[in-house]
Chain A
Amino acid sequence: MEERMPTPKKDPRSDPERWLDEHGNYLFGYAVTRLRDRALAEDMVQETLLAAIQGRDRFEGRSSERTWLVGILKHKILDHIRRKNREIPVTEVVGPDESIDVLFDERGKWKYGPSAWADDPELSVTEKEFWTAFIRCLEKLPGHLGQVFALRELEGFERSEIRNLLGLTSTNLGVILHRARMRLRRCLEVNWFGEEDSGRE
């Protein structure tokens, strides 16, 4: 007698429910690191999935479902950045950054040197705690510093693309990026690698 193949069990969830279950946390994390605003990131996830319902007839499965959803999310994030930049344009960065003052004394000499970080970054960067600290520090980057850093280092935008998107001069972009890196470095030093090297040079 011919043995019947069991029919595969149909997923009782609707597609959007499944998207939320399977990709919700990922999309949320993606939006948090790019926008550094958790409430806004929640809204972005919602808008993305709503747009996905509208456009799902045209999803041809050429990419993975997750790639497709992230594609929509990226559009949403960029739209938001454009809109926000129209409302509050990036202003020229002037004056010293107080976050570096802590490193130098009034004569410009190192007050405390940067602590020696582990020579083996492999060890630390596999640990969940490290990435939690990294994300927390990313979220602490203020306004345009965080925005520019995320576009450059997470999204991989060229400098010229960021300049066009945010209407920045080349010098100003350089200053913002440098300040963002300095703050992130400092934050990781305090929260992960340990305090400064107390020895004078």
Chain B
Amino acid sequence: LGERLAVRLHLMMCRFCSRYRKQLQMLRVVANRYVQEIEPSRSLDLFSLPEEARSRIQRALADQMLEKHRYSNQEPPSRLDSTTLTTPSIPAASCGMQKYR
């Protein structure tokens, strides 16, 4: 108990300690501000998907669309085999993990 009291007394008198503590607390405020205001803002342009990645993703999406289109035009498969199995998709409405404060 005495030690705890001594630490508390030290913190009260120590200018750098209280400044340091305030700054650590401020990081929470800054992070929160980032999530609430900066990240959703469409004007800041803090991130840009590299062109090379953008084209790669574009190609992957086009392939997938083609695949989906081709599959939807086919007769339903008579039996399941490895070529007709599709990856399970994520339910569109289940946007869980909404953890914004």
Tell me whether A59 and B93 are in contact (CB under 8 A).
yes
Binds B, one of A1-9, A44-52, A88-96, A167-175: A44-52
Residue of B nearest to A135 (CB): B46
Q: Which residues of chain A from 37 to 86 have a CB within 8 Å of any chain B CB?
A: 42, 45-46, 49-60, 62-63, 67-68, 70-72, 74-75, 78
Tell me whether B49 and A185 are in contact (CB under 8 A).
no
**Known contacts A131-B34, A131-B46; 11 further A-B pairs (Cβ under 8 A):** A46-B57, A49-B57, A50-B64, A54-B90, A71-B96, A75-B94, A125-B33, A131-B38, A156-B35, A189-B23, A197-B16
Q: Which applies to chain A's interface (DSSP): helix, strand, loop or mixed?
A: helix
**Sample of 27 A–B contacts (CB below 8 Å):** A14-B65, A24-B54, A24-B57, A25-B48, A32-B47, A42-B57, A49-B60, A50-B64, A53-B64, A54-B86, A54-B87, A60-B93, A63-B95, A71-B95, A71-B96, A72-B95, A74-B96, A125-B30, A125-B33, A128-B44, A131-B44, A132-B46, A134-B30, A185-B23, A185-B27, A189-B23, A201-B16
Interface residue total, chain B, C-beta cutoff 8 A: 53
Knowing A55-B89, A78-B97, A121-B26 touch, does A153 contact B31 (C-beta < 8 A)? Answer: yes
B11 within 8 A of A: no
Tell me whether A28 and B49 are in contact (CB under 8 A).
yes
Q: A175-201, CB under 8 A of B: which get 1 and which 0?
A: 000100110110011000000010001
Residue of A nearest to B58 (CB): A20
